[in-house]
A and B are shown apart, each in its own frame.
Chain A
Amino acid sequence: MAQHQVHHEVDAHTGVPTTGHEWDGIRELNTPLPRWWLGIFYATIVWSVGYWVVYPAWPLITGATQGVIGYASRIEIAKDLALLQQHRATQSSGLAEASLAQIKADPSLFRIAMAQGKAAFGDNCAACHGVGGAGSKGYPNLNDDDWLWGGTLDQIHLTLQHGVRVAGNNDTRVSQMPAFGKDGLLKPAEIRAVANHVRELAGLPTEASADLTKGRELFATNCAACHGDAGKGNKELGAPNLTDAISLYGMDLASLTETIANSRAGVMPAWGPRLDATTVKALTIYVHSLGGGQ
């Protein structure tokens, strides 16, 4: 067999050999790389093989090669999380010891509580109350100044700790408005009269045909015990103020009729058993700071 011999042209103009590649009469000069560069290039190729050995690399049928140093990105995350917990523990030890009023008064504790509260709110509360506590129908807006169970730090903390209408929790916020229609306490015409009277209390227009006198009487006998004669509500009982501009379930006649007929009983979980004490404190501070805190 003939020995492999390649004939390379030397470019006459520069005296540099060509690679033999040619495009439309343009020939490529062979300008070789320096030896050190080529050496480093080969060294990096050899080096890359090391990754196969050291790190998890090759996919297998039920897993992958693990690598000799036992590295895994999941382990790194677990380490980072442990570090975070440790970091938080030192930061939130201040929160654990201070009272809610002290936290609110101390700028550095307040900052930590706000940061922690904001994160916890996103994780636990935003599903119902919305991002930023904006609320929606049936889920209170936490930014406004209208509170069912009170908007002071301690009242918010109690609500968070024990929830609203949580079965089996002795300290939970609990009250029950009767379902006047469903339970046959009021007839449909009476419910209509009461609904119109509630609109009258709130300063909203009423139906021309409504019997407001009857509504007033029915309200006084059936509703005033909790909502008060003037409909101003009672935070002890979670009875909403019916006269202000804010309502949880709507003040239109249809919504009011449904509320009176079938009652409403929103439920909120008790966070005390689910979250640690400092997180509940931080949530209290955060919710209080949203704008409605009293």
Chain B
Amino acid sequence: MASQETDLGDLPLFAATKKVYPQSVSGPYRRAKWIILALCLGVYYLLPFLRWDRGPNLPDQAVLLDIANARFYFFFIEIWPQEVYYFTGLLILAAFILFMMNAVAGRVWCGYLCPQTVWTDLFLVVERFFEGDRRERIKLDEGPWTPNKIWRKSAKHFVWLMIAWWTGGAWVLYFADAPTLVRDLATLQAPFTAYAFIAILTFTTYALAGIMREQVCNYMCPWPRIQAALTDDDALNVTYRYDRGDPRVSLRQAERLRAKNEPAGDCIDCRQCVAVCPTGIDIRDGAQLDCIQCGLCIDACDNVMEKISRPKGLIGYDTDDNVKRRIAGEKPVYNPLRLRTMIYAALILLVGGAMVYQLATRRTVELSVLHDRAPLFVLLSDGSIRNAYTIRILNKRPDERPVALRVHGVPGLRIEAVGVTATADLRPIVSVPPDTSREVRVLVTVPADVHVNPTQTITFTASDLFAGEVVTVQDHFIAP
């Protein structure tokens, strides 16, 4: 590879920020982005206020992360800390859905759904409202600090901070009863943590969506790097069709060239695609790391094509292979159903199915048994042998439940629970308070005349006397 020698002196330590002034645009992609933005923000800000009746002992907030009581509520689902694998499942599912979107149509997440994109879009609306569109903003920035400029700039930053503040404010509402917390926040009664988190999120929202914007995607986010490694030749990407666009000439020259039957591209080099780009790149340079594939350049280009009466779609969702095929006179090939997407779809179904199955067959009574480590067994004065166990019974229902304990596996086994006096047919009845667990020490005794092996499997059964739910756990009985 040839290289040219230049005297640059010392290399620069940093790259100065090139400010991007995205221009407003209209079209189907922009419209889709508005709808997604409204939905995402609507859900984010309003969801904490949605109520969901769970009965008298439990909170009635539809989505609540109750850290103090270690419970997560999501509509009809209540997750205990030991069920955190549901979150693992959700994260795995999210990863596969991300890969799937990427395999079908590139960076759909980045362009439409990522909070960074959604909030940056929202902040840009505010910026345009106070400072005007691209040209006015560039002019304003270049101009001197007039009262007009000061007013516009400070109004913009004020509204940004307000939005950022509401963003942080909505965040903490997911961790406590929202209406109560709003009242407490307003009357300065809320815990310090709430204010601290609001402050942190106000700062991050303001900095990420207002000031850093595309730099978050370019420098901070790992996904563009991972995405580049995951993509393949069949994934649709926002693509400039240079087979149609090049050579780029002016509208008038194109007409002249076409009249002479000479090649002329549809791209008139109007740079509208660059002006509207929120990351300030030129899509005509091909696929690149900085491109979040939001499709706004498609809208911008289609609008221009319509004006100059050329077919739309000079920039569109396509693949580089298809561009090459067109040049070679072949038909474009689209493979949304290929091995990769099918494997992703299968994995999504598998993980999702496993989670739904797990949730559907989830028990509301659980039993865990822990054999005493020391002593392993106890010889009683009449020669019978006793093992002790620590048993924990979980009650995931909002009402107190009596649970009967039974054990079998060795003839003549006796079971008693320390501190539990209630029994039925010699089975101890342990009353477990609502939405919590109770630990009891359980003594299991084999009479002296029954022969037991040094290690014997026995089965504990906990039966909920109200709902009839039964759980069994196997453990060992140890003898000399």
Contacts and interface: CB of A to CB of B under 8 A. Distances in A.
Interface of A: 5-13, 17-19, 27, 30-38, 104, 107, 110, 130-135, 141, 143-146, 241, 244-246, 289-291
Contacts of B380: 144-146, 245-246
Contacts of A289: 418-419, 441
Interface residues of B, number: 37
Given A32-B14, A143-B378, A291 B6 contact: no
B7 A5 contact: yes
A107 B375 CA distance: 25
Contacts of B187: none
B399 interface: no
Contact of A8 (B8, B13, B381, B386): B8
B253 interface: no
Given A6-B10, A10-B6, A17-B6, A144 B381 contact: yes
Contact of A141 (B15, B215, B375, B383): B375
Contacts, number: 117
A143 B375 contact: yes
Contact of B11 (A19, A104, A145): A19
B379 interface: yes
Contacts of B379: 144, 245-246
A245 B381 contact: yes
Contact of B4 (A12, A30, A241, A245): A12
B218 to A, nearest CB: 8
B388 interface: yes
Contact of A291 (B5, B378, B383): B378
Interface of B: 1-17, 212, 215, 219, 372-375, 378-383, 386, 388, 418-419, 441, 443, 448
Nearest to B381: A244
Contact of B388 (A34, A107, A291): A291
A146 B419 contact: no
Nearest to B416: A291
Nearest to B445: A291
Q: Which 10 A-B pairs have the closest CB atoms?
A: A134-B375, A244-B381, A132-B374, A245-B383, A35-B14, A143-B378, A131-B374, A32-B15, A146-B381, A38-B14
Contacts of A130: 374-375
A199 to B, nearest CB: 16
A291 B8 CA distance: 85
Contacts of B388: 143, 290-291
Given A12-B3, A245-B383, A34 B374 contact: no
A12 B9 CA distance: 18
B15 A10 contact: no
13 contacts: A6-B8, A7-B6, A13-B1, A17-B8, A33-B13, A33-B14, A34-B15, A130-B374, A144-B378, A145-B381, A245-B383, A246-B381, A291-B443
Nearest to A143: B378
B5 A33 contact: no
B13 A32 contact: yes
A17 B11 contact: yes
Contacts of B419: 104, 107, 110, 289
A246 to B, nearest CB: 5
Contact of A36 (B17, B375, B443): B17
A8 B11 contact: yes
A9 B4 contact: yes
A41 B270 CA distance: 40
Contacts of B375: 130, 132-135, 141, 143
Contacts of A7: 5-8
Given A246-B381, A289-B441, A34 B215 contact: yes
Contacts of A5: 7, 9
Given A107-B419, A110-B419, A246-B380, 14 more contacts: A6-B9, A9-B6, A10-B5, A11-B3, A30-B12, A33-B219, A35-B17, A36-B212, A130-B374, A132-B375, A134-B374, A143-B388, A241-B381, A289-B441
Nearest to B6: A10
Given A6-B9, A8-B8, A132 B15 contact: no
